[in-house]
Chains A and B, each alone.
Chain A
């Protein structure tokens, strides 16, 4: 009683009604394409022809020769590194200040979260206007050289524009998770520390940070996976320009498959991306869990 039926016929009926529809859609949309993707990497399909020829592993060899892929992967790693650090730093500070009983803290929280509600396409367009028109205008009227030309026309500045927009977008989201973490801290421990004469910095590094490890694990995981896969903002803010210097790996994979019509190589590169994301986020969760146990 209470399980999904006693008689075999009843069990099968419940399986079909409850679980099968969900499982089948999931398999059809996620698992089958994922597996089929391995087969695609062994073919020379161009997206148009009806026939595919099996060409063995040469697409993988092609990946190693594709210098554009590796440079976009390098750029992505750099982007992920700075975004993850800055997003979490800003988010942690915001959360710290906004859990101190400040006046209007709910209002601030609501405001900082707003960019997360809006899709990357629109955010990218909004900031494209800011960087290419507003800041240039600002530079002209104040004489500040740093803004005199559009950031989006200089490879290095365009990269930082991407990072800035990412921080602006994601920090409010991570802030909410850190706030939840701060609210869960036991006030007893903090008070005990103050009574024992712990200074602000000691309190932060020796008590708050170790206790916040679970929140760090969640936030780092979310920012890492978001940053590796970013596409929308990249597309509408810089579009990979100038001269393809800000093309992150997700955009490279897209163009390889759908613009250059090289599906096999594109999919092989996508699998590399998958591998890297899986290894890095797996490692991060493993280390985080270890820290959590120690703390």
Chain B
């Protein structure tokens, strides 16, 4: 019995060792692109071309790439634009979607169920099937493109169906009607009930949706590229794209620009990794 255990132990040890090793190899493969970008962002162009792997640079390291990229990308400005658009879009969609979902759950009539089905069904429409008429209506007809508020409006519209869908499921399953009734016996209005009693209870699902929507809005390229043409109002992905087009031969500057673009979101990830991971899983499984 004793020997058997030992054999099993050795085998288990070997299997575990193999697993750890294979994970380490995979991990290295996943991380190498990031490491190389960061490493080369501190080098001069000649050293990058000569040997992009080397940690030793003949001409030494420099932060010049960063100062150039920072300025040429209009980093502060496009970062601010991204922050403005992402922040406001997320705030608006969270409030509107939770209110709409609340209405759908608490008012069981034909109108609610038709609207809800329409939203659920619309989630399979690919963006490509909407973008051309979108530009045609809002660009050619109404001429309201090229404003950050227009982009916010579109973000909210596109995120609405999924957000309502997820809020609806949560409210239906975990907000008891009796609670609202008890909390507002003295007859406060529906709006007060919602914001003082219901909305705070939605917190877990709200944070899931905030994470999903922030990631989607922050990284979106195609929609903003159709809406924002002017340089001063470009979001970060747009200015990265424009910057890359102009400086594609200056590897060092390009690398620095990419690091600058990625850095804010990676910092956020380091701080909130648990919430982000569980939010993404909850969002995927629920929709």
Which residues 68-127 of B sit at the A interface, judged by CB distance below 8 A? 96-97, 99-100, 102-104, 106-108, 111-112, 115, 118-119, 122, 124-127
Indicate with 1 or 0, residue by residue over A18-46, a CB within 8 angstroms of chain B CB atoms.
11011101101111111011001000010
Residue of A nearest to B22 (CB): A97
How many residues in A have their beta carbons less than 8 Å from beta carbons of B?
Answer: 91
The listed residue (B30, B190, B251, B258) touching A122 by CB distance below 8 A is B258
Which residues 225-281 of B sit at the A interface, judged by CB distance below 8 A? 226, 237, 240-241, 244, 251, 254-255, 258, 261-262, 265-266, 269, 273, 276-277, 280-281
A71 interface hit (Cβ, 8 Å): no
The listed residue (B53, B107, B219, B273) touching A3 by CB distance below 8 A is B107
Residue of B nearest to A115 (CB): B30
Which residues 107-124 of A sit at the B interface, judged by CB distance below 8 A? 108-122
Residue of B nearest to A103 (CB): B20
B196 interface hit (Cβ, 8 Å): no
**B121: min CB distance to chain A, Å:** 10
Interface locus among A61-69, A146-154, A269-277: A269-277
Interface locus among B31-39, B56-64, B200-208: B31-39
Query: Helix, strand, loop or mixed for chain A's interface?
Result: helix
Residue of A nearest to B138 (CB): A33
Q: Once the chains bind, are B133 and A34 in contact (CB under 8 Å)?
A: yes
Given contact pairs A19-B103, A29-B156, A111-B31, A125 touches B277 in the complex (Cβ within 8 A): no
Given contact pairs A15-B103, A36-B137, A121 touches B30 in the complex (Cβ within 8 A): no
**B64: min CB distance to chain A, Å:** 19
B23 interface hit (Cβ, 8 Å): yes
Most buried by B among A14, A29, A34, A179: A29
**B234: min CB distance to chain A, Å:** 12
The listed residue (B128, B156, B181, B190) touching A270 by CB distance below 8 A is B128
Residues of A close to B180: CB separation below 8 A: 2
Interface residues of A (CB under 8 A from B): 1-5, 11, 14-15, 17-19, 21-23, 25-26, 28-34, 36-37, 40, 45, 47, 94, 97-98, 100, 102-103, 108-122, 125-127, 129-130, 133-134, 137-138, 141, 168, 172-173, 176-177, 179-180, 218, 222, 225, 228-229, 231-232, 235-236, 250, 253-254, 257-258, 263, 266-267, 270-271, 273-274, 277-278, 281-282
User: Number of A-B pairs whose CB atoms are under 8 Å?
Assistant: 257
Residues of B close to A172: CB separation below 8 A: 30
Q: Sorted from nearest, which 9 A-B pairs have the closest CB atoms?
A: A29-B157, A119-B219, A22-B100, A4-B107, A18-B103, A19-B103, A33-B133, A22-B96, A37-B133
Given contact pairs A22-B99, A33-B130, A111-B31, A45 touches B136 in the complex (Cβ within 8 A): yes
Q: Once the chains bind, are A176 and B222 in contact (CB under 8 Å)?
A: no
List 14 additional A-B contacts (Cβ < 8 Å) besides A133-B52, A236-B241.
Answer: A2-B181, A4-B107, A26-B122, A29-B153, A29-B156, A37-B132, A118-B219, A125-B254, A141-B51, A172-B30, A176-B277, A177-B285, A235-B221, A273-B129
